């Protein structure tokens, strides 16, 4: 068994139960049934019974860090199920990563974070169940739609920033470490709301006070969106997510991935040498978004803004946007 779960104390105290047994009114007795306390669980309240998952006509909707992601149904509700591949079911590192992701997701509650629903941890295959978002991922959306209008890009950027500001909140900082369009999901086909997902590579860091230095090393994430300090195997912190965010913002405004002519590894190497993607889009006030992007992908991670600061900047830029019909974006 992967987890040990403590019993939950019933919220019903004896005095509450006694007070609720019966009430007597002026015109005779009035009876209200005694409330029944919920049963004390003997396992985690998020442990899902595999038989409750219906994989009839299910289809693979993605690949995770240690398995495949399928659309299925849980108690009639469409869900996304990340399932460890049979070939990896006995891999200690894979099981450890799975356990780490579950522990992280249990803690998360935010409108811009994919909602965790439960997990199968007591039987194989191990499975992680989250809400199913019908809109697909941002990568596919940009591939189909191309460059977004500045207003749409700002709204998407705000959604991502709010989710990330929640994750970066001290003292329990969660560094995503793999923020990219494929890990940002659209809630529905109307493309009006985003959520950050896939926490397989995320890292929980305890911070005692705001002056603490909490830094990690190691090459983790996706090359095309990777901060230079990660590629160089130098110490890094939560500002690596800000760098990746800048690359996503660029892609939303330009309609193509940063350094799309390069292979991912070569793109990361080029970025680590000090190069940055070039904006071609032009229009009223577009310079304010470029300026913000430039700050977010600064070579010195200490010069990158926090996501709280990014949210304030984006909201101000949004307030100053001219009407949509005044935008003139073109590629020279």
Q: What is the per-residue DSSP string for 264-289? A: HHHHHHHHHTT--PPP----TTHHHH
Q: Name the residue with tokens 């590192």.
A: 93
Q: Is there a contact between 230 and 265 (Cβ–Cβ < 8 Å)?
A: no
- Asked if 197 and 184 touch (Cβ cutoff 8 Å), the reply is yes
Q: How far apart are CA 124 and CA 84, in angstroms?
A: 9
- Whether 195 has a binding-site annotation, put simply, is no
Other C-beta atoms closer than 10 Å to the C-beta of 199 total: 27
Distance between the two ends of the chain, CA-based, in angstroms?
A: 60
Give the active site residue among 178, 198, 237, 241: 178
Residue of 114, 78, 106 whose CA lies nearest to 186: 114
- Who's near 98: CB < 8 A, 6+ residues apart? 66, 84, 126, 128
Is residue 178 among the annotated active site residues? yes
Binding residues for ATP: 82
Q: Which residues are catalytic?
A: 178
């Amino acid at each position: 068994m992967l987890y040990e779960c403590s019993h939950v104390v019933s919220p019903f105290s004896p005095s509450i139960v006694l007070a609720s047994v019966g009430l007597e009114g002026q015109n005779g007795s009035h009876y209200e049934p005694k409330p029944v306390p919920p049963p004390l669980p003997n396992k985690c309240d998020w442990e899902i019974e595999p038989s409750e998952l219906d994989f009839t006509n299910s289809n693979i909707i993605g690949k995770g860090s240690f398995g495949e992601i399928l659309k299925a149904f849980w108690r009639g509700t469409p869900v996304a199920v990340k399932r460890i591949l049979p070939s990896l079911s006995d891999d200690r590192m894979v099981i450890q990563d799975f356990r780490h992701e579950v522990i992280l997701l249990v803690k998360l509650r935010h409108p811009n974070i994919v909602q965790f629903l439960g997990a199968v941890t007591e039987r194989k295959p191990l499975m992680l169940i989250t809400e199913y978002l019908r809109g697909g991922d941002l990568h596919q959306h940009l591939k189909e739609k191309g460059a977004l209008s500045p207003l749409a890009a700002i709204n998407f950027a705000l959604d991502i920033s709010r989710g990330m500001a929640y994750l970066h909140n001290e003292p329990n900082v969660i560094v995503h470490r793999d923020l990219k369009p494929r890990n940002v999901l659209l809630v529905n086909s109307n493309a009006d709301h985003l959520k950050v997902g896939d926490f397989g590579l995320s890292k929980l860091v305890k911070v005692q006070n705001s002056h603490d230095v909490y830094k990690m090393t190691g090459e983790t994430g996706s090359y095309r969106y990777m901060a230079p300090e990660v590629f160089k195997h130098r110490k890094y912190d939560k500002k690596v997510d800000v760098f990746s965010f800048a690359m996503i913002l660029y892609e939303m405004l330009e309609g193509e991935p940063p350094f799309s002519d390069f292979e991912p590894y070569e793109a990361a190497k080029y970025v680590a040498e000090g190069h940055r993607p070039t904006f071609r889009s032009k229009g009223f006030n577009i310079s304010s978004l470029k300026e913000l992007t430039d700050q977010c992908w600064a070579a010195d991670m200490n010069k990158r803004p926090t996501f709280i600061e990014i949210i304030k900047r984006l909201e101000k830029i949004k307030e100053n946007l001219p009407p949509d019909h005044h935008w003139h974006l073109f590629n020279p």
